[in-house]
Chain A
């Protein structure tokens, strides 16, 4: 006796954008077993047998579920703290937080949080702070002392590179003293730290005092759940956690949560090459691959070559930083990168490499070239992450070496003005995150948010790549703008390709996962300037419906 055939559900939609060039649009999509049975007209699909017609999306637009190729679970974790950014933002529960346009507004938000905080020693923490939009006014510990003189108060900047704290926090960390000589700790007229702490070394002593521990970075249970909610709101059905440590505890939490019937996003955590040798990392990645599930995709490695451009820790080629700042720092030695690439190619492990400055990009390309000579590996899918400052010659090299790129389109909006004025100057700022060059040179490309550095939202990211507007309203690098069609491809199939998952996700076609982004507006007909305003209803992931 055979079991009854699994149910077929056919969704009728106002429009289906498939991202499959041979059938770009459709009206119906059939789903069975969480996968796409077919897409086309109702008549096309009826041949699969008895079905149920679901018309709940009849007035809406379906796209492939969006893929965020560079985010961090910390985007979910941070929401337990107070949002202090300049731009309005929705939290995992859908509450809209207004942007704080002044330092007073930031202090007021933190005071409100402080009043609701129990326990005498509990710190008050804010995040997303970006005082560059407040003109020349600097935040000092006196400002945050208005929040509390008893509790430690700390506000993490949006860039993640600066932390402001109050007097109590400095005192707890043993830093409220004179004779501190550290370039990351500015001193006031009284010889004491002003409360601004720049760079990981200076911030480090304060993280413990503020309770920003390891789970803060890796995403604990609550953070992973919140991240899932953020993904639904952003139309995302697959997202990366791009620098995970993947210890046994973290792995079991991830396995447990992503296996829950209600967890709405497929997670792709990459194992960071830190604290372990390349040999250990590759062995661990191979081992992790065995633990793969439908909703948790393991077995990739992340390497960090340099720092960040706005933190002046990225490695730039000649002539370096526009403001004359010394060149940045190497985070991983070339020998280590080369060894990691070689071993990874040998074992078929994919490596994503963070390169911000163009010298770091050049080094990664040199290392890959050498490793490929040793282990020629067609379709290795190595990817450069951020790769913000690459020039055309480097994109040609990427094409030749078969390496893809995931560009930081959002950066343009949030820090483009600073890049133009301070870090790299007008000419190089215009070529940053060169989506058009990537496309024209034939390099597989995607775009990303690096959430929580900028908010998770691929349609916003697409808008950034299409319009290249900065926060001040300047079009920075008009010749690098891409079309809406290209940008939509980048946030679906492009990102899926970077993860070597394009056989499963990224387009709506027979055999792929039933992952859809459900929209109330049509991104193909809205004016490109309004792409970011497209309303997102929610997602369908693996055939399960999640309303935002």
Chain B
């Protein structure tokens, strides 16, 4: 059974976690997404996405659902997988004071899912004050440090020099993370997922990229470029991993499969400066490897690959 791709979305109160969830739901393109929130307290799921409520579960447009996990994350994840129409992807939104890595570790206790990464949303207006706050500073800094992908949200609300200052400061707190500036958490779902289409689609139909989401209009927001790279068998895994993980290349995300010299197939996932290689079962007719890469339009150079 393919493990259920699961993403943890963290960030302090008001950073834009739910805005991101709404953006991702709007890009679901038929994929059944389950959104887990800590509680329904101030649920910010856009009203037009909500179809109805069935007990503890909110039904959303396109077969998506939303439920609260309260004190039982593992139980909630297990019950989701028992649904008649089980989700194809899970987004876990932490509470505003939650530590995403801790939530991720707890989620790993549920069988049958794979944590694909941690996205942390930061509010460009207030992240610096929050990160140095007397009470919350260490919590906020830990949230940021837990990120694989750090979305610097509300980038249009601050002066360019403030944004530049944040672009320099945040990597000191989250050196592993890919940093992306955005407005209203508008980013392509592919950037968060590191996949183009769901895992099911990838195995069934090959790597068929879904169209990139509309690019944000604000000049403060980063824009993206998508690049597909075919790799013949016999890939030097160490060299590929080092290259994908190298800092300052503008590469934010990469995912795909490659074949090594022994013919073993590997799943490759890069987010930020971290690359994971996982042995994968052989696939019919897959005689070549392929990576899909997402980079910052202004920094990433597809021709270098």
Contacts and interface: CB of A to CB of B under 8 A. Distances in A.
Interface of A: 173-175, 180-183, 185, 200-202, 204-205, 207-208, 274-277, 280, 315, 327, 329-336, 359, 362-363
Nearest to B43: A277
Interface of B: 12-14, 39-42, 68, 70-75, 78, 95-97, 99, 102, 105-106, 108-111, 135-136, 138-139
Contacts of A185: 109
A336 B110 CA distance: 30
Given A332-B97, A333-B97, A181 B108 contact: yes
Given A174-B111, A331-B97, A201 B105 contact: yes
B97 A330 contact: yes
Nearest to B38: A275
B105 A181 contact: yes
B109 to A, nearest CB: 6
A488 to B, nearest CB: 37
Given A181-B108, A335-B14, 9 more contacts: A180-B109, A182-B109, A183-B105, A202-B109, A204-B75, A205-B74, A276-B39, A333-B136, A335-B13
A336 to B, nearest CB: 7
Nearest to B109: A205
30 contacts: A173-B74, A174-B110, A175-B109, A180-B108, A182-B105, A182-B108, A182-B109, A185-B109, A201-B109, A202-B106, A202-B109, A204-B72, A207-B72, A274-B39, A275-B39, A275-B40, A275-B41, A277-B42, A327-B138, A329-B97, A329-B139, A330-B97, A330-B135, A332-B97, A333-B95, A333-B96, A333-B97, A333-B136, A334-B136, A336-B96
A330 B13 CA distance: 13
B135 A334 contact: yes
B136 A276 contact: no
Contacts, number: 77
Contact of B136 (A175, A208, A330): A330
Contacts of B78: 174
Contacts of B70: 274-275
Contacts of A275: 39-41, 68, 70
A207 B75 CA distance: 9
A208 B72 contact: yes
Contacts of A207: 72, 75
B14 to A, nearest CB: 8
Contacts of B109: 175, 180, 182, 185, 201-202, 205
Which of B68, B71, B95, B139 is most buried by chain A, counting CB atoms within 10 A of its CB?
B71
B58 to A, nearest CB: 14
A39 B119 CA distance: 67
A181 B108 CA distance: 8
Most chain B CB within 10 A, of A181, A202, A275, is at A275
A182 B72 CA distance: 16
A185 B108 CA distance: 12
A330 B78 CA distance: 27
A182 B39 contact: no
Q: Which 9 A-B pairs have the closest CB atoms?
A: A275-B39, A201-B106, A205-B74, A174-B111, A330-B97, A333-B97, A277-B42, A277-B41, A333-B96
Nearest to B136: A334
Contacts of A201: 73, 102, 105-106, 109
A276 B41 CA distance: 4
Nearest to B13: A333
Contacts of B73: 201, 204
A334 B138 CA distance: 14
B139 A330 contact: yes
A200 B71 contact: yes
A326 B32 CA distance: 39
Contacts of A332: 97
Nearest to A276: B41
A205 B72 CA distance: 7
B39 to A, nearest CB: 4
Contacts of A280: 41
A333 B17 CA distance: 15
Contacts of A205: 72, 74-75, 109-110
Contacts of A183: 105
Contacts of B74: 173, 204-205
Nearest to B39: A275
B168 to A, nearest CB: 27
A280 B42 CA distance: 9
B111 A204 contact: no
Contacts of B14: 335
Contacts of B95: 333
A201 B109 CA distance: 9
Most B C-beta atoms less than 10 A away, residue of A201, A332, A334? A201
A204 B42 CA distance: 24
